[in-house]
Amino acid sequence: MERIYKFIVLHGSPKGDVSVTMQFVRFLQFRFKEHSFEVINISSNIKSIENGGIESIIDRMNKADGIIWAYPVYHFVVPAQYVRFIELLYDNRDKLDLQNKYATALSTSIHFYDNLAEDYIRDISADLGLQYVRGFLAAKNDLLIESKQTNLTKFFKRFTHHIDQNWTVENLAIKAEIPAKIKFPMHFDGTQRVLTDKKFLLITDATEENNNLFNMVKYCTQKMSSNLKVVNLNHINVNGGCRGCLRCGARGDCVINDELRSIIEGDLISADGIIIATTIKTRYISSLMKTLWDRSFLHGHIPIYNNKSILYLCSGSYTPFIKNEFEARINVFGGNLIGVIHDNVSCDQLLKQLNSSIENLIYSTERSIEVPRNFLGVAGHKIFRDYVYLAKSVFRAGHEYFKKTNYYDFPQTSWITKIKVAILMLKLKYRPIDQKFQSKINDGMIREIKKVVDKMSA
């Protein structure tokens, strides 16, 4: 006889019940009626959770047989409101009793860096004592396909089987580095100011309690010219995170009218170079900084960092996951990542790295240095390109931008290329021509680019 389990579903969509993610949760509820699913809308109720509601949720999590992290992927990871909830869980870890309970993830997206989002949830689960079973990373329309419904059913049966058999799950979480106990100096004698005509923007969530980050920001203001504008997210009006309403898709603006919107619409675009200085809290940037990223979706899928050089400063438990997310974000949106400076090193090293990176940032910005996109950027661009083209009725602003800037670089739309390839394929059916083609293939690969280099020696 199968056991009956009680699951807590931590639902992360800001849309509440009217979300794609919730439909996948409802599918499980109807398919597995023998089990109990208690759904808690986290992101849409984050204010009430902050105001005392967290204790009730923790109590219900402690009594559950399993935890389901259900969320949409927002800007590479989970919504900012969900990050805030996780911060509250960390703040109340002494009240959690989750040791060796099982957890899994159910995410919905266009498969745009859903792997990063799951890595984050996996690592969070490990920190909270949960045994994490690999999740189901769904495309948003998977429920329309019968085979995908079958896969989701099998996935959840496997999850319950883990609980039945009490299987030990391999802990794949990346160990977070313990922050070095250094105190970055408040005063910097002999700091040489670098003069530049370029406009720089420094966005931070630093507080005086986080001395290292606060002082790194101060060092930047002393090192750089008066063309540096500093925006501390703690000191501006922020009326909540992205609601997922998609009204920005048509017009390219946000329905939330606050100071953060002005920063995203103005300074973030007009700056020639950018410094992001953030606190690392729950293996990731703060929920406040994530709010900035989520709300920047008002620009849609447009590469807002085109040719901008970006420097990251962070303070806290630094992990490779954070660097991967930073690099992916800058690559996808067309920027040049100068580096990631963190305080898990000695004071002397930190000062040298910070000084060199600021000079590198200014040097690269003044010369408009543009680096080629790597796989992270190219793959991300292709996902965006295909999705915006198919959803252009929703993302009209992005569609118009993609048309004007040739971002619709579909290879199959070039008739000349298609005709050339078709003729070549026809010729290669004749064996002697195919043999000659194979013998000359390496020379053919370099023929045109070799001409470019040969001209330099002429």
Give the pLDDT of residue 392.
Answer: 94
Give the pLDDT of residue 418.
Answer: 87
Give the pLDDT of residue 189.
Answer: 60
Which residues, including other chains, have CB under 8 Å from residue 258's CB and lie 6 or more apart? 236, 237, 238, 239
Give the pLDDT of residue 1.
Answer: 55
pLDDT, one tens digit for every residue, the chain (458 residues) = 578 999 999 999 999 999 999 999 999 999 999 999 999 999 999 999 999 999 999 999 999 999 999 999 999 999 999 999 999 999 999 999 999 899 999 999 999 999 999 999 999 999 999 999 999 999 999 999 999 999 999 999 999 999 999 998 877 776 666 555 567 665 666 566 777 889 999 999 998 887 889 999 999 998 887 789 999 999 999 999 999 999 999 888 899 999 999 999 999 999 999 999 999 989 999 999 999 999 999 998 999 998 899 999 999 888 888 989 999 999 999 999 999 999 888 888 998 999 999 999 999 999 999 889 999 999 999 999 999 999 999 999 999 999 999 999 998 888 888 898 899 899 989 999 989 989 988 998 999 898 999 899 87
